[in-house]
Amino acid sequence: MTQHKTRHHYIRDVLKIVKQRNHSEPVFIQAVNEVLETLGNVVEEHPEIEEQNLLERLCEPERQLIFRVAWKDDSGHVRVNRGFRTEFSSVLGPYKGGLRFHPNVNMGVIKFLGFEQIFKNSLTGLSIGGAKGGADFDPEGKSEDEVMRFCQAFMNELFRHIGPKKDVPAGDMGVGAREIGYLFGQYKKLTNQYEMGVLTGKGVGWGGSLARKEATGYGVVYYANEMLKARGESLKGKRCIVSGAGNVALYTIQKLQQLGANVVACSDITGTVVQKNGIDWEKLRMVSEDERKHVNYFAEITPDSEFCLGGKVWEVPCDYAFPCATQNELDDTDAADLVANGCKMVCEGANMPCTSEALDVFREADVLIGPAKAANAGGVAVSALEMQQNAGLERWSFEEVDDQLQTIMKSIFETCVHCANKYSTKEDYIAGANIGGFLRVAQAMLSFGIV
């Protein structure tokens, strides 16, 4: 079958409704558009999708929470932030998805992330629904005590809505094991229960899974490796660039290096650092994870590196690029730079890092694209393995979890290949991921009736 983009009248009608209903949420509309425009042939083949109005139902969250988070800063001032949780779809399992603490968080951002999470979680083949949450709290420059007090205040409301069989949050930008610790501590205090499975991404000493911290980044590289293998190519000796220097970026860089690639640059909000013979990973980990500092500091203490203040990593020549920072961080101009410099593959670690226009540039230039919903699903997959370990009071070894992660990423890739070939075109893994994720959710929705 040939690709069938936005031609179907039903898809056009649903998109129109979504745009009207969510007109002040451009990133949510972008995310919905990118999924729906790939579903034409599926909608054609399955008239029951339109008959049961599955698409409009899927684009409306099951439940959305907005709440006040009031807390005291170190100087005694009372601060107010806005907290969010979008419980998007629970047809495949309890709501599951991370919490993001970042100043640009708003309902539209949380909805786009929650929407993507439905398809991503479905692709893992595990029993997890889709959700996302967070707050417009900026952790930058906050003291340890302020972060703790904010997490406690956030949980004072969230605890009513979550539970191991209901909704299981985890980390995302600005939320790592430290924040999950404070959130879990407050949940335990409020409920007087040690419900290990209520949050994932916990510390490994108190119910967390080994390899969860590494899982998203490692999964990105496992997925990229599968795409390359299918083209008879490999990572060995290839120049790679990675945006970001946080959790996903760090473990993407580590796995790329383990598989023989030369990672020459990474970045954060301060700018881009280039180290031609390969980023000193252990030093970067120390700067980012232990010291919570930025790449400008990494450059300061790394004599053979160059730092470009405010510079974009996409200007650095590479074979393969890994956007691992944030949404819409790579636009059509960046894409054109990458293509001009010979980049042959872009594999998305962040959620929706490429603008729609950037994706068009890559398609035009036959650049392989590893879509976020598939490529970064390793994190949530290992979160689900953490839930399994918690439920069985078990603790699996690092190797056991990593083996399962590799198996899951391979199976996600196979789903993408199958669905791309059947409903779109060879190597259109964006369509493959959307369709593979959608079909499982659609089947469950049809089974459950109109609820």
Ligand X SMILES: NC(=O)C1=CN([C@@H]2O[C@H](COP(=O)(O)OP(=O)(O)OC[C@H]3O[C@@H](n4cnc5c(N)ncnc54)[C@H](OP(=O)(O)O)[C@@H]3O)[C@@H](O)[C@H]2O)C=CC1
Annotated binding site for NAD(+): 216, 247
- Only segment of 155-163, 265-273, 330-338, 411-419 that touches ligand X (CB under 6 A): 265-273
- Select 156 or 216, whichever has its Cβ closest to ligand AKG: 216
Question: Is 214 near ligand X (CB under 6 A)?
Answer: no
Number of residues in contact with ligand X under rule CB under 6 A: 25
Residue 138, classified by CB atoms within 10 Å of its CB into exposed (0-12), middle (13-18) or buried (19+), is middle
| DSSP H or E stretch at residue 410 | helix 398-423
Question: Is 437 near ligand X (CB under 6 A)?
Answer: no
Question: Is 248 near ligand X (CB under 6 A)?
Answer: yes
Could you give the CA distance from residue 140 to residue 138 in angstroms, rounded to a whole number? 5
Is 16 designated active site? Answer: no
Indicate which residue of 5, 16, 19, 132 is catalytic.
Answer: 132
Interacting partner of 96 out of ligand X, ligand AKG, none (Cβ under 5 to 8 A depending on kind): ligand AKG
Interacting partner of 97 out of ligand X, ligand AKG, none (Cβ under 5 to 8 A depending on kind): ligand AKG
Beta strand extents in 239-353 (DSSP E only) = 239-243, 262-268, 271-274, 306-309, 320-323, 345-347
Q: What Rg do the C-alpha atoms of the chain give, in angstroms? A: 21
Residue 27's nearest CA partner among 369, 443, 328 is 328
- Only segment of 141-149, 177-185, 348-356, 408-416 that touches ligand X (CB under 6 A): 348-356
Residue 146 forms beta bridges with which residues? none
Number of residues in contact with ligand AKG under rule CB under 6 A: 12
Query: Pattern of binders to ligand X over 351-390, x per CB under 6 A?
Result: x------------------------x--x-----------
Question: Is 129 near ligand AKG (CB under 6 A)?
Answer: no
- In the chain, the amino acid numbered 375 is A
Interacting partner of 325 out of ligand AKG, ligand X, none (Cβ under 5 to 8 A depending on kind): ligand X
Instruction: Let me know: does 349 contact 217? Beta carbons within 8 Å.
Output: yes
Could you give the CA distance from residue 95 to residue 162 in angstroms, rounded to a whole number? 9
* Least spacing, CB of residue 382 vs ligand AKG, in Å: 7
Q: Which of 139, 379, 432, 436 binds ligand AKG (CB under 6 A)?
A: 379
| Neighbouring C-beta atoms of residue 93, cutoff 10 Å | 19
